[in-house]
Structure 1
Amino acid sequence: MRETYYAGAYWGRRQESAEECAQRAETFFRLLAGCHPTYARWYEKTKSTKKGLQLGFDPTRDTFVRFFGKKKYQNGTDGFYFGAWTGHEEEDQGGAVTLFCGAHGEGSSNHVLLYFPVEEPGSEKVLTTPVLAGVMRAMALAWEPDWGVIVSGDFRDGLSEQGSAGTFVGWVTYFSRQRGEVPALAEPVRVEPVEEKGTLVILTPERLSGRIPEHLALGRRVQQSIETRGLLRRIAG
């Protein structure tokens, strides 16, 4: 069974209007489209694949304002939910996004998730350091999260018993400036700024796997270094 990878960005309570969330969503999808051609076209997510392929949309601010005005995309009076996919039915292509934003009630955790292709050749084309660094930058610039990660389920489980958002490192990890300063880290790890928002930590230039002992050992060393700075803590709602 192949490893499955995802990108996630998380932030705590943040009250935002439909218009504010819509502007962030437009920025996110625009930046995402520049990361890889796979992300140039989107459809509303539905239970029916046939119906979903008839629901293509242009990811603009006005489009998302319209979506967030619908009851099915509202979480009562506390935030907005939306799901989209690229229209590729095969596991070797495409991807899907879910987002939850604008929530401000006690215990709320806003987030955006992007799921990558599982099979080759799609995963081979998308799961590269340049593409993934671009994806995490898109998430950071659009949503201004507290923390973000791109990781496989196997690697996450190898470094964290509970896998709680904010508490472990991945192939690519993002830390907002509010979390603190990322320490200098030895090669092959790269540390890159994301404008004035925060910092990316990229563990390896090649695909990081939770099934390679050397990768897990590297992850544990880096995680320990970052944890001593207080950067790894659960996202508070």
Structure 2
Amino acid sequence: MHEWYYVGGYWGPRKETALECARRAELFFHMLARCDPSFTQWYRGGRGAPRSLPGHPVRPEVEEWEQLFLRGRLRTDVGKEVIEEFGFMEYVWNAKNKERTRVEFSCGAYSPGAVNTCLLRPPEVGPLRERILSAPLLAEVLTSLATAWDPDFAIAGSNEMVRLVRKRKGEVRVGWLTYLSRRLGTVPPLPAPVRIEPVGTLGWLLVLSPEPMSASNPDHVAFTSRVRELLDRAGLIRRPDPVTGEE
């Protein structure tokens, strides 16, 4: 079974300007570039991009990201007025077709029940996909995401595993790797081979296994479910308000 792996960070309503989001994006891509050479150059869409390139090159600078986020504001159908409380949306990629990694942002939203996200989608096929889907590299990516965006939680895993393990809509998800903010509570002792690492003073990174965890492996599903249950008992899974619009 081909599984769709992704890295996703999620946080609730947080009013931030385009400049504040741009500063977070600059830090995130600076840290991401140190994780893997393929994360060095990113591109955006738009008319007039060179045909030899995947798109318009994005400069990893605050000024450029601020303009991208301002361009990505949602507007009303009538009058095209900016809907301030919906924040900003943008996405970039680093290669063509199925060999690309794509990063998507929804940030600065502060309407009631809003969900802000940072999603990284590895290539669908190829050797780069295999390189990215390793515990050490994904741990670096999650640490970068947590440091730059300060989400409530973040995971690296497959959509299929999430669907099998999740019990309630809008809950904190548990994946192959999971980041939990200290705002959620304190991480309890967890069974081997789970590794728990602090991410600065922000939270904890949980690595459930040094090897890839698959939804097609019943043992992996059972172990992930067990870890989720222990975190739930510690009060780390249920979120105070239902969240919609998540990946």
CA distance in structure 2 between the partners assigned to 1:13 and 1:62 by the alignment: 24
Which whole-Å deviations, capped at 9, do the CAs of 1:7-41 have from their partners, x for residues lacking one? 10011010011111110010111111111111111
Deviation at 1:158, TM superposition (A): 1.3
The match for 1:148 is 154
CA distance in structure 2 between the partners assigned to 1:45 and 1:220 by the alignment: 40
Which whole-Å deviations, capped at 9, do the CAs of 1:182-210 have from their partners, x for residues lacking one? 01112111111000000011110001101
**Amino acid across the alignment from 1:150:** A
**2:46–2:55 contact (8 Å) kept in structure 1:** no
Is 1:42 the counterpart of 2:25? The answer is no
**1:166–1:235 contact (8 Å) kept in structure 2:** no
**Amino acid across the alignment from 2:92:** A
Question: What is the total number of aligned residue pairs between the two structures?
Answer: 232
Deviation at 1:54, TM superposition (A): 3.6
Distance 1:235 1:102, change over 3 A: farther
Q: How does 1:186-201 map to 2 (within 5 A)?
A: 186-201=191-206
Deviation at 1:46, TM superposition (A): 5.7
Q: How does 1:54-203 map to 2 (within 5 A)?
A: 54-70=55-71, 73-75=72-74, 76-78=83-85, 79-89=87-97, 91=98, 93-160=99-166, 164-203=169-208
Q: TM-score, normalised by structure 1?
A: 0.91
CA distance in structure 1 between the partners assigned to 2:67 and 2:218 by the alignment: 48
**1:38–1:94 contact (8 Å) kept in structure 2:** no
Runs of 5+ unmatched residues, structure 1: none
**1:146–1:235 contact (8 Å) kept in structure 2:** no
**Amino acid across the alignment from 2:7:** A
CA distance in structure 1 between the partners assigned to 2:59 and 2:48 by the alignment: 20
Which whole-Å deviations, capped at 9, do the CAs of 1:77-98 have from their partners, x for residues lacking one? 1211111011232x3x331011
CA distance in structure 1 between the partners assigned to 2:47 and 2:173 by the alignment: 33
**Amino acid across the alignment from 2:17:** S
CA distance in structure 2 between the partners assigned to 1:54 and 1:118 by the alignment: 19
**2:122–2:132 contact (8 Å) kept in structure 1:** yes
Deviation at 1:217, TM superposition (A): 1.0
Sequence identity (%): 36
Deviation at 1:176, TM superposition (A): 0.4
**2:187–2:231 contact (8 Å) kept in structure 1:** yes
The match for 2:238 is 233
**1:2–1:119 contact (8 Å) kept in structure 2:** no
SS in 2 for 1:69: helix
**Amino acid across the alignment from 1:227:** D
Deviation at 1:109, TM superposition (A): 0.7
CA RMSD in angstroms, aligned pairs only: 2.0
Deviation at 1:47, TM superposition (A): 9.8
Runs of 5+ unmatched residues, structure 2: 75-82
Deviation at 1:61, TM superposition (A): 0.7
Distance 1:166 1:29, change over 3 A: farther
Q: How does 1:189-228 map to 2 (within 5 A)?
A: 189-228=194-233
Which whole-Å deviations, capped at 9, do the CAs of 1:137-177 have from their partners, x for residues lacking one? 11100000001111101211111256x45433100111100
